[in-house]
Amino acid sequence: MERKADLPAPPPATSQSIPISAAADALTSSSFSSSSSASASPPDFLRHVHAAIKRHRPPGTMQSNFPRARRVLVPQTEPSKSTTTISSMTGNMSGKMLSLSGAVRTSNVACCQKKEGASGPAAATPPVNQEESSITPPSISGTITSTRDHNIKQLGSQKDDYELMFDREKSALGISSSQLAPPHVSVDVDFKKDKVFLSADAQLTFQSDNARLTSGSKMDGMSTYLHSLALTEGEGYLANRATHDQDRKQHGIESMEVSGRDEQIYDLHHAEPLTRCSAMGSSGVTTLSVHSAPTFQSTRAPQAPTQMSSCAVETSSGILDNVIPKEQGTAVRDVDWQQNNQQLLHMNEALKERAVAGSNASSLPSQIRSTSNPSSSLEQGSSQLNKADKAPRRKKFDPDVFFKVNGKLYQKLGKIGSGGSSEVHKVISSDCMIYALKKIKLKGRDYPTAYGFCQEIEYLNKLKGKSNIIQLIDYEVTDKSLLQEGSMKIKDGRIKDDHHIYMVLEYGEIDLAHMVAQKLKETSNPSLQIDENWLRFYWQQMLEAVKTIHEERIVHSDLKPANFLLVRGSLKLIDFGIAKAILSDTTNIQRDSQVGTLNYMSPEAFMCNEHDANGSTIKCGRPSDIWSLGCILYQMVYGKTPFSEYKTFWAKFKVVTDRNYQIIYEPVSNPWLIDLMRRCLAWDRNERWRIPQLLQHPFLVPPIAREPSPDHPWKALLERVGVYWNNPDVSRLCSELHKVVAECEKAGRVSATDVEQSTL
């Protein structure tokens, strides 16, 4: 208040180009009728307002009761590490972005608390003639063009004009501080060479429970006044900063802006989170909200939605749809809205921090890149603004951009692939974690099949914590009836509604199918140049993964290279949907034929549910998985699956189910490898080795020639024989001998005689 005498008159409207946006719901007769401002020219109007304020001003209280103006300067080209939020105000400076916003910070809550603290609860009671609810913060917008010199000279002393005027208006209207939320000024600054362009969107709306205190956009005087406020606010900041950074001249502006921004962000998040977030977040964004749906706040409600709208604009197209007309929102919706937007806010913050940390921006999706690309952000912002104006605002998030699983938002980063029953997307969570999101469409499926998909969730839950199984982070089944026990038994027909299963999974960088293809490309003649160490390394990991599920009594039934994913250097098993969902009908075969995994199907999988020679029903169990592993190993060695030359389903069926069919094994440098494949691809499922045996196979655990041990001469003999492993006959014999010795050891018969007898 002490500065009142120094207040300069607002810059004359004629000196600058001021395109006024249509918004300006300026103060109308109900509130300003006494000052006759509707017809007054800007200077006259201001004089009237000043006079009215003088008359109504309670002496000596305003400064303490009302908040001071704050400004925010957000350079977009150089995100700071402390940047976490708020970049909704943008401008362009020859390719460098600069944003500036002014907003008077206050909050209903804060003001009320202050009063209570000072004079007890009664002091916070609003005057009788006022509404119970607080008044929506008016926002101010427009565009102002000025030369830089002019601005720098004019601005310094005007920077508090705005807050003082606002205080006085409130006073003149008889509105208490607890009821009137602050006005928001959003100022976009565009430096081009020696020119300064300040722009702000103008709109002013005072609204309460029963009355709209001010409205209408016909008051040129008020509009001009609002522009002067915007100019004053923005220019004042520039002038102040320029004084401190005179030596920086042209380039100095940018660096000074960085520090300015950091300060603001610190204030925003640490000093008075609720109050300042509300004020700050709304700048440049509340305008959007107010344009289409004036907000309404209860004095008891937090101001979080204002903060939300900020996130909405700055992040992406999808977020705009978060702007919900406040009057439509219930408390529950507000909470929901708040959660959504807080997630979006965090997501955006984290992405910005990543960008600062030097991650490759081009690898980010366009929505995210736009946050580090000011101009596109600006363009996008305006197009979103239009879109948001026109579109009905029913959705809380844009499904083209986000998935929502269990109330949490995941932003799409691109489709990874689609399987027979699902599509899988790479996503980023609000805490900046990359995941894979598997979406299974349920509409049109029969209930047993849908129930089978739910079983995948069950298995993944069971396998939580197992390091070689892909981890399920979260999931949602939108048709809740599927989760009810026995639902698949009692329900016939197909799912009619648009239901889905969503699974948020650990993200795998590459699958084994791609790795094998890549490896084979590197070797011109795969059969001669097998990288045995590479083979051992991944074969062992595959065995360990399958061992894990077999120990949990789970049969995968769809093992193939594409279902082993590399996650942080280790292979992990994915896709547990098929085995239980479609195990007992022919859909499995249909589905497989579509995606080509017939190549990995065991004879019993082809003949599943048929009867064998003894009349027993043929079932798929663990040995089926071993067969599939054998096919994968064969592919890793030879570059093709054992039955790949048989192209059609029936041709394949014929050879795979023929127990006399001889699989061709081209010679390789290590005969143990062939032996290993034979163990896995034994036609009779009872002859196939189990995982523990395979893990001990000489290919993985090569026999090492050691000094003969006097205690166990037969062991020494075995090791000596093992030296001739490059002879397939010897190696087979050796392997059998190993098996016998193992059995003997198990039975406690380890004498040479026993071994000899057993071998014979």
Ligand X SMILES: Nc1ncnc2c1ncn2[C@@H]1O[C@H](COP(=O)(O)OP(=O)(O)OP(=O)(O)O)[C@@H](O)[C@H]1O
Binding residues for ATP: 438
Give residue 428's identity as a one-letter amino acid code: I
Grouping H, G, I as helix, E, B as strand and the rest as coil, residue 676 is: helix
Q: How many angstroms separate the Cα of 588 from the Cα of each of 293, 550, 555, 598? A: 52, 20, 14, 10
* Cβ-based nearer residue to ligand X, 125 or 363: 363
Whole-angstrom CA distances from 450 to 424, 503, 505, 583 are 17, 14, 19, 13
Shortest Cβ 438–ligand X spacing (Å): 6
> Which of 126, 137, 182, 420 lies at the binding interface for ligand X (CB under 6 A)?
420
Q: How far is the CB of 600 from ligand X (least distance, A)?
A: 11
Tokens of 50: 């000043």
Applying CB under 6 A, the span of 50-58, 141-149, 188-196, 556-564 interacting with ligand X comes to 556-564
**Closest distance to ligand X from the beta carbon of 632 (Å):** 14
Q: Which of residues 424-453 bind ligand X (CB under 6 A)?
A: 424, 436, 438
Q: Pull the structure tokens for residue 578.
A: 């098929």
Q: Output the smallest distance, CB 507 to ligand X, in A.
A: 5
Per DSSP, what are the bridge partners of residue 17?
Answer: 145
Distance CA 434, CA 436 (A): 7
d(CA 374, CA 77): 7
CB of residue 509 to ligand X, shortest distance in Å: 7
Catalytic pick among 558, 575, 675, 754: 558
417 belongs to the binding site for ligand X (CB under 6 A): yes
The residue within the footprint of ligand X, chosen from 20, 187, 463, 565 (CB under 6 A), is 565
DSSP conformation letters of 611-624: B-TTSPBP---HHH
What are residue 197's phi and psi, to 5 degrees? -115, 120
606 residue type, one letter: F
Instruction: Tell me which residue of 290, 372, 307, 27 sits closest to 170, measured CA to CA.
Output: 27
The strand pair at 184-192 and 434-441 is best described as unpaired
In whole angstroms, the minimum distance from the beta carbon of 246 to ligand X comes to 55
Known binding positions: 438
Residues 6+ apart with CB under 8 A from 49: 32, 35, 37, 165, 168, 169, 172, 225
Angstrom distance (rounded) from CA 233 to CA 166: 13
Segment lying near ligand X (by CB under 6 A), choices 218-226, 335-343, 405-413, 559-567: 559-567
Least separation in angstroms between residue 359's CB and ligand X is 19
Residue 649 exposure: Cα atoms within 13 Å on the Cβ side: 13
3-state secondary structure of 733: helix
* Torsion from C-alpha of 217, 221, 227, 230, nearest 10 degrees: -100
Helix (H, G, I), strand (E, B) or coil at 665: coil
Residue 235 in contact with ligand X, rule: CB under 6 A: no
Per-residue binding letters, 453-492, with ligand X (x by CB under 6 A): -----------------x----------------------
105/306 Cα distance (integer angstroms): 12
Q: Is 558 a catalytic residue?
A: yes
Residue 644 CB, shortest distance to ligand X, in Å, is 18
Of 176, 62, 190, 165, residue with least CA distance to 108:
176
- Least distance between ligand X and beta carbon 419 (Å): 2
| 100, 111, 239, 574: which one binds ligand X (CB under 6 A) | 574
Using DSSP's 3-state secondary structure scheme, residue 573 falls into strand
The rounded distance, in Å, linking the Cα atoms of 731 and 712 is: 21
Q: How far is the CB of 681 from ligand X (least distance, A)?
A: 22
Contact of 74 with 261, CB cutoff 8 Å: yes
From 562, 620, 631, 737, residue interacting with ligand X (rule: CB under 6 A): 562
Q: How many residues bind ligand X (CB under 6 A)?
A: 23
Among 422, 429, 670, 735, binds ligand X (CB under 6 A): 422
Q: Does 507 bind ligand X (CB under 6 A)?
A: yes
Strands (E), 379-421: 402-405, 408-418
Place of tokens 């109007």: 45
Give the rounded distance of the alpha carbon of 218 from its chain centre. Answer: 44
738 vs 672: CA distance, rounded Å: 13
Report the alpha-carbon distance of residue 105 to residue 617 in Å, rounded: 76
- Show the binding pattern over residues 593-632: x = contacts ligand X (CB under 6 A), - = does not: --x-------------------------------------
Of these, 356, 416, 566, 663, which contacts ligand X (CB under 6 A)? 416
Q: Which amino acid is at 464?
A: K
Q: Is 267 exposed, middle or buried (0-12, 13-18, 19+ CB in 10 A)?
A: middle
Following DSSP, what letter does each residue of 183-212 receive, concatenated? PEEEEEEEEETTEEEEEEEEE--EE-SS-E
In the complex, the smallest distance separating the C-beta of residue 468 from ligand X, rounded to whole angstroms, is 13
Helix 42-56 with 161-173: angle, nearest 10 deg: 60
Please pick, from the candidates 511, 604, 625, 754, the single residue that binds ligand X as defined by CB under 6 A.
Answer: 511
Cα dist. 392→205, 324, 353, 367 in Å? 22, 10, 33, 21
Task: Give the C-alpha separation, 243 to 105, whole Å.
Answer: 24
With a CB cutoff of 8 Å and minimum separation 6, the contacts of 739 are: none
Residues marked as catalytic:
558
| Residues forming the site for ligand X (CB under 6 A) | 416-417, 419-422, 424, 436, 438, 470, 505-508, 511, 558, 562-563, 565, 574-575, 577, 595
